Amino acid sequence: MISMNLFFRFLAGCLLGQALVHFLQAAEPDWPTLGEQARGQTVYWNAWAGDDRTNRYLEWAAAEVKRRYGVEVRHVKLSDTAEAVTRVLAEKAAGKSEQGSVDLIWINGENFAAMKREGLLFGPFLHRIPNYRWVETNSLPTLTDFTIPVEGLEAPWGIGRFVFLYDRARVSAPPRTPAALLKWAKANPGRFTYPQPPDFLGTTFLKQLLLDLTPNRRVLYAAATESEFVRITAPLWNYLDELHPALWRRARAFPMNGPAQIRLLGENEIDVAIAFGSEAASSAILTGQLPNTVRCFGFEGGTIGNASFLAIPFNSRSKAGAQVLINFLLSPEAQARKQDPRLLGGQTVLAIDRLDRSDRTMFEQLPSGVASLTAEELGTPLAEPHPYWMERLEKAWLQRYGVRK
The per-residue pLDDT for 342 is 86
Would you tell me how many other CB atoms lie within 10 Å of the CB of residue 238? Answer: 11
Closest-CA residue to 388 (of 91, 70, 114, 92): 114
Question: Judging by DSSP bridges, how do beta strands 42-48 and 272-276 pair with one another?
Answer: unpaired
CA–CA separation, 50 and 52 (whole Å): 7
Q: What is the pLDDT of residues 285-342, one digit of tens each?
A: 988 899 999 999 999 989 999 999 999 999 999 999 999 999 999 999 999 999 998 8
Question: Judging by DSSP bridges, how do beta strands 154-167 and 104-107 pair with one another?
Answer: unpaired
**For residue 185, pLDDT beyond 90:** yes
Q: What is the pLDDT of residues 39-56, one digit of tens each?
A: 999 999 999 998 888 999
CA–CA separation, 385 and 365 (whole Å): 35
> Residue 129 CA to chain centroid, in angstroms?
20
Which residues fall within 8 angstroms of residue 199, CB to CB, at 6 or more apart? Answer: 256, 257, 258
**For residue 19, pLDDT beyond 70:** no
> Do the beta carbons of residue 405 and residue 253 sit within 8 Å?
yes
The per-residue pLDDT for 403 is 57
The per-residue pLDDT for 38 is 98
Q: Where in the chain is the domain with CATH 3.40.190.10?
A: 30-159+307-367, 161-305+379-401
Mean pLDDT for the stretch of residues 119-130: 97
DSSP 241-267: HHHGGGSGGGGSS--SSHHHHHHHHHT
Residues, the chain: 405
Which residues fall within 8 angstroms of residue 153, CB to CB, at 6 or more apart? Answer: 112, 116, 121, 122, 123, 124, 125, 126, 311
The fold for domain 161-305+379-401 equals: D-Maltodextrin-Binding Protein; domain 2 (3.40.190)
Closest-CA residue to 102 (of 153, 41, 44): 44
Q: What is the mean pLDDT of the chain?
A: 91
> Do the beta carbons of residue 290 and residue 262 sit within 8 Å?
yes
More confident call, 1 vs 333: 333
The per-residue pLDDT for 134 is 97
- Which residue(s) pair with 310 in the sheet? 106, 155
Q: Which CATH code is given to the segment(s) 30-159+307-367?
A: 3.40.190.10
Q: What is the pLDDT of residues 209-248, one digit of tens each?
A: 999 999 999 999 999 999 999 999 999 999 999 999 999 9
pTM, to two decimals: 0.86
